[in-house]
A and B are shown apart, each in its own frame.
Chain A
Amino acid sequence: MKESVQYKVFRVINVIILLLVVYITLFPFLNVVAQSFSGQAEINAGKVNLIPKGFNVETYKTILHDTTFWTSYKNTIIYTVVGTVISMVMTTMFAYVLSKKRLMGRKFFTSFAVFTMFFHGGLIPNYILIKQLGWTNSIWAIVIPGAISIFNMLIMKSFFEGMPEELEEAASIDGSSTYGTFLKIILPLSKPILATMFLFYAVGSWNSWFGAFLYLDKSEMYPVTLYLRNLLAGATTGQSAGATSADDLTQIAANIKAVTMVLTVLPILCVYPFVQKYFVSGIMLGSVKQ
């Protein structure tokens, strides 16, 4: 089939547009990485774009020797591990039950969950609840309130619904209890969805900061995102206060910010190439339901 001239022209322009999209997407990353390896004077002069100017790794050394940074890094790892495990257990149980068509009350429990996607208590009632539970300055305030994402649960539910009923019937004829069937037959067959959910929750916990910001007063409990947030916030007020006087502190801050951003995002960037296809299949599974 012959293509019209216009379509040929369009195809060339299309490739250019999409390359531009790629460039725009990557630019902020490359800029931050370049800044993290650059000298403070060069950043302040606005010379750093994609390539580091005045190459230095001193800031990396400083931050990697900073115990506060490592404490917050360790906290993030703890919150992510604990939070992800709790979320996985809760979501899997919930999704499995709701996927059982024979179960009475399934519709009710599903809408009971789905309703919370459209209406929620809001910031203040949630805040008061956590205070009343006495969870201020405890890990529970970070890992429990968002334990089940209804969206993730629905994705999982539609996966379980796609599993052949006969499997479980055969197992129960062989005398397996529901628990046994679930642990020995369903879970091993659900590895793809379990991996997807694991990633969704782990990345979510790694990235979260607001819960910690609300409920943690002790800086030794901060996750690394909150450490970074305070760094960014502190630097901004410094900048707006002394607009023109570029003192050493704000100069260093620009570089430190970049280094901290790189270190915070590094684990995500490392696993990203391997995990992004899981995310994509996960979101597609979710869309099938709708």
Chain B
Amino acid sequence: MKPLVEVSTHPPQEIGVTKVKRSQWSLILKSVRKDWQLYSFLLLPIIYLVIFKYIPMIGNIIAFRRFMPGGSIFGEEWVGLHYFKMFVQDATFWHVFNNTLMLSSLTLLFVFPAPIIIALLLNEIRSTKFKKFVQTTSYLPHFLSMVIISGMILQLSASNGAINALIQFFGGEQILFMQDPKWFRPIYIASEVWQTMGWGAILYLAALTNIDESLYEAAKMDGANRWKQTIHITIPGILPTIIVLLILNIGNLLAVGFEKILLIYNPLNYETSDVISTYLFRVGLQSSNFSYATAIGLFEAIIGLVLVYSANYFSKKFTDNGLW
């Protein structure tokens, strides 16, 4: 901080700054000349990033400009916050916003801890064969297309599907799961757990193997039983991993499983299933209201960015762990 102040109060210093800059430029030039082959590898990836990542980022500007189909990708005229005002006053927007928050809090509550529990349970298994067997099967859903997963969800929850067969076997009434809004959240959460628990456990298992064995020996000496060892050694040992993944999850809070919801929801359960991204999809691509949909998307992305940065900030402040 200090040098900056000095630069502004003592003009002569500025010459020094430009000198530094100039020599830096020549350094870069020198480096490029020496390693031009290496730098040439960067060409395609950087062009790719600019066109397919950064131009769409700038393309978000149509949230503030009126976009005409067939016109410029950056819109035709400034309309300021017009589209943002529109969605703030849009009752459907607030409805889908609530649905999104509901689904993402349920996800944090149920889906996030599932792999941790699985990893802890697997950690207590001594037979490596059984452990491998459980792991290998539980990864499987991770390798499937969302289309297959949604197909399975629809088949299992169908009126003549396996779940209803089970309910009827125990003398219950048939339930029309996909036509009843109150069932959407349980179905979504249960399928998320099913999909992600095995694969998610990998990172925690890796973290578990890194815990120093002598800590357990010492705890045993002190008379700690297995449960106490878990609370005082195992869980603190995987805490950094938990926190890193938690930060990433918090950043994606508003981006709940768009593809899956798009594939399994229907107008009958919009009441609970419609989320920001699916609403955006309908407004933008089915009703061609591009600027409005972009405003909603930008809002979602900015919240995500703020969430990642603040989660990271607080995590670093209180636990010394962070993404960067």
Chain A bound to chain B:
yes
B318 interface residue per 8 A CB criterion: no
A190 interface residue per 8 A CB criterion: no
B284 interface residue per 8 A CB criterion: yes
A249 interface residue per 8 A CB criterion: no
**Interface segment out of the listed B6-14, B91-99, B140-148:** B140-148
Question: Which residue of the partner chain, among A129, A261, A280, A287, contacts B151 with CB atoms under 8 Å?
Answer: A261
A68→B120 CA distance, assembly (Å): 47
**Interface segment out of the listed B50-58, B102-110, B181-189:** B50-58
Interface on chain A toward B: helix, strand, loop, or mixed SS?
helix
Question: Which residue of the partner chain, among B37, B122, B124, contacts A179 with CB atoms under 8 Å?
Answer: B37
Distance to closest chain A CB from B139 (angstroms): 6
A237→B154 CA distance, assembly (Å): 12
Check B160 against A43 for contact (C-beta < 8 Å).
Answer: yes
B298 interface residue per 8 A CB criterion: yes
Q: A residues within 8 A CB of B54?
A: 116
Q: B residues within 8 A CB of A163?
A: none
Check B160 against A104 for contact (C-beta < 8 Å).
Answer: no
A29→B138 CA distance, assembly (Å): 12
Q: What's the tally of chain B residues with a CB closer than 8 Å to chain A?
A: 98
Question: Contact mask A244-284 → B, CB, 8 Å, 1/0?
Answer: 00000000001001100100110010001100100110011
Check A100 against B38 for contact (C-beta < 8 Å).
Answer: yes
Given contacts A44-B160, A126-B56, A261-B152, contact A17 B121 (CB under 8 A): yes
Check B56 against A121 for contact (C-beta < 8 Å).
Answer: yes
Q: What's the tally of chain A residues with a CB closer than 8 Å to chain B?
A: 99
Check B62 against A290 for contact (C-beta < 8 Å).
Answer: no
Q: A residues within 8 A CB of B116?
A: none
Q: A residues within 8 A CB of B277?
A: 123
B42 interface residue per 8 A CB criterion: yes
Question: Which residue of the partner chain, among A6, A44, A210, contacts B259 with CB atoms under 8 Å?
Answer: A210
Check B155 against A32 for contact (C-beta < 8 Å).
Answer: yes
Given contacts A104-B31, A129-B59, contact A178 B38 (CB under 8 A): yes
A173 interface residue per 8 A CB criterion: no
Given contacts A22-B138, A268-B143, contact A283 B202 (CB under 8 A): yes
Check B137 against A11 for contact (C-beta < 8 Å).
Answer: no
Check B154 against A232 for contact (C-beta < 8 Å).
Answer: yes
Check B143 against A124 for contact (C-beta < 8 Å).
Answer: no
Q: A residues within 8 A CB of B60?
A: 121-122, 125
A60 interface residue per 8 A CB criterion: no
Distance to closest chain A CB from B207 (angstroms): 8
Q: B residues within 8 A CB of A49?
A: 162, 165
Distance to closest chain B CB from A192 (angstroms): 17
Given contacts A32-B155, A209-B145, contact A240 B53 (CB under 8 A): no
Question: Which residue of the partner chain, among B32, B161, B225, B266, contacts A46 with CB atoms under 8 Å?
Answer: B161
Q: B residues within 8 A CB of A177?
A: 37
Interface residues of B in 30-70 (CB under 8 A from A): 31-32, 35, 37-39, 41-42, 44-46, 48-49, 51-60, 62, 67
Question: Which residue of the partner chain, among A112, A125, A258, A265, contacts B294 with CB atoms under 8 Å?
Answer: A125
Check B59 against A125 for contact (C-beta < 8 Å).
Answer: yes
Check A240 against B268 for contact (C-beta < 8 Å).
Answer: yes
Distance to closest chain B CB from A160 (angstroms): 12
Q: A residues within 8 A CB of B152?
A: 28-29, 31-32, 261
Q: B residues within 8 A CB of A225?
A: 145, 147-148
B310 interface residue per 8 A CB criterion: no
A11→B121 CA distance, assembly (Å): 9
Among residues of B, the one whose C-beta sits closest to the C-beta of A290 is B244
Q: A residues within 8 A CB of B137?
A: 22, 25-26
A128→B251 CA distance, assembly (Å): 25
Question: Contact mask A209-232 → B, CB, 8 Å, 1/0?
Answer: 110001000000000011011001
Distance to closest chain B CB from A155 (angstroms): 13
Q: A residues within 8 A CB of B242?
A: none
Which of the listed residues B52, B226, B300 has the most CB atoms from chain A within 10 Å of its own CB? B52
Given contacts A46-B165, A129-B55, contact A94 B62 (CB under 8 A): no
A102→B69 CA distance, assembly (Å): 47
Interface residues of A in 103-126 (CB under 8 A from B): 103-105, 109, 112-113, 116, 118-126
Check B57 against A119 for contact (C-beta < 8 Å).
Answer: yes
Given contacts A21-B138, A272-B140, contact A94 B41 (CB under 8 A): yes
Given contacts A46-B160, A93-B44, A177-B37, contact A148 B49 (CB under 8 A): yes
Check A209 against B57 for contact (C-beta < 8 Å).
Answer: no
Q: A residues within 8 A CB of B226?
A: 4, 7, 10
Q: A residues within 8 A CB of B125?
A: 14-15, 18
Given contacts A116-B49, A284-B206, contact A1 B220 (CB under 8 A): yes
Question: Which residue of the partner chain, among B41, B62, B305, B308, contacts A125 with CB atoms under 8 Å?
Answer: B62
Among residues of B, the one whose C-beta sits closest to the C-beta of A180 is B37
26 contacts between A and B (CB under 8 A): A14-B125, A21-B198, A31-B162, A32-B155, A46-B159, A46-B160, A102-B35, A103-B35, A104-B31, A112-B46, A116-B54, A119-B301, A122-B60, A123-B277, A123-B285, A125-B55, A126-B56, A128-B67, A129-B51, A207-B144, A209-B146, A210-B259, A228-B148, A232-B154, A237-B266, A268-B144
6 tightest Cβ-Cβ pairs between the two chains A and B: A121-B56, A125-B59, A122-B297, A207-B145, A178-B37, A94-B45
